[in-house]
Amino acid sequence: MITTYSCFLEAKDVLNPEFNLDQYIGCSVQLNFYHGFFDLEHSDIRRTLRRNSIFVSSIHAPDIKISDPKFMDLAKIVAKEYNKKYITIHPCKSDDPKQLRKEELSALEAHADELARLKLNICFENFPTPAPEKQERWVYDPADLRLLTERFPFVGITYDLSHTEPGTDILEEFNKIVDGVRIIHLSNRRIDEKDKWHVHLPFYEGDLPVKELLASLDQSDFIGDVVLEYRVEDHPKMVRDYWKLFDGEFVF
């Protein structure tokens, strides 16, 4: 069951007078802090969103380790200023992912009681297998993420369709991990003949069977938020598609 549809919105744009915030009026959004968190005026952001009838469904704070000394400061700000249940995070990269994994798991255990008190859930995104010469994330495979959700009740999965492993049957994979999925990042992806990835395309434009996945959600055990995450140049399409999904205009 889809609890709500949401759009991706950069937090830094909310207070930017040159940004057209009007296009988001009435929308539910996942507020993205890709370009910083601690240097922003969160109270001003919250008031501006409220004034424009923009509802924050969840937070996206991709660039912080759970073991970072500032992580719980971030969590407390999210709880105080936005009162949201879910924070989507990118599992961080390292030249020594096994050591980082130990540190991150230890931090999750250490923060468990406080996160429960704040009523916060950490939703890690899935990613494809990295190239051999690249740094590796401490966790990235959906099946591994599902095991984390069993170990830590406050951990969930943000299943990003553009980040799925090439050649994967995404319907089969999703159904295997659905109990742990709290958020779906909705988009599509195309890999060209030069093996270049074109990600976060409108959900009906790429190579993945995204429409089929959406059509299956009502019959699945999914309970969560579907967040449209399109590349910047397609944000006008993203808002348009949000309203069409919200109003039931797409037929799957």
Task: Convert the chain into a string of H (helix), E (strand) and C (coil).
Answer: CEEEEEEEEEHHHHCCCCCCHHHHCCCEEEEECCCCCCCCCHHHHHHHHHHCCCEEEEEECCCCCCCCCCHHHHHHHHHHHHCCCEEEECCCEECCHHHHHHHHHHHHHHHHHHHHHHCCEEEEECCCCCCCCCCEECCCCHHHHHHHHHHCCCEEEEEEHHHCCCCCCHHHHHHHHHHHEEEEEECEEEECCCCCEEEEECCCCCCCCHHHHHHHHHHCCCCEEEEECCCHHHHHHHHHHHHHHHCCCCCC
Residue 229: predicted pLDDT: 99
Mean of the per-residue pLDDT values of the chain: 97
Residue 90: predicted pLDDT: 98
* CA 187, chain centre distance (Å): 12
**Cβ pair 248, 28 in contact under 8 A:** no
The pTM for the full model equals 0.97
**Cβ pair 189, 206 in contact under 8 A:** yes
Residue 68: predicted pLDDT: 98
The rounded distance, in Å, linking the Cα atoms of 62 and 76 is 16
Query: Which parts of the chain register pLDDT below 70?
Result: none
Residue 69: predicted pLDDT: 97
Q: Degrees (nearest 5) of the Cα angle 202, 200, 77? A: 115
Residue 30: predicted pLDDT: 99
- 18, 22, 28, 34: CA torsion to nearest 10: -10
**And the tokens for 80?**
């105080």
| Cβ count near 233 (within 10 Å) | 7
Residue 133: predicted pLDDT: 81
**What's the sign of the alpha-carbon dihedral 105, 89, 122, 36?**
positive
Residue 189: predicted pLDDT: 98
Q: Which CATH number fits domain 2-246: 3.20.20.150, 1.10.10.10, 3.30.1330.20, 2.30.110.10?
A: 3.20.20.150
Residue 44: predicted pLDDT: 98
The 10s digit of each residue's pLDDT in 126-180 is 999 998 888 999 999 999 999 999 999 999 999 999 999 999 999 999 999 999 9
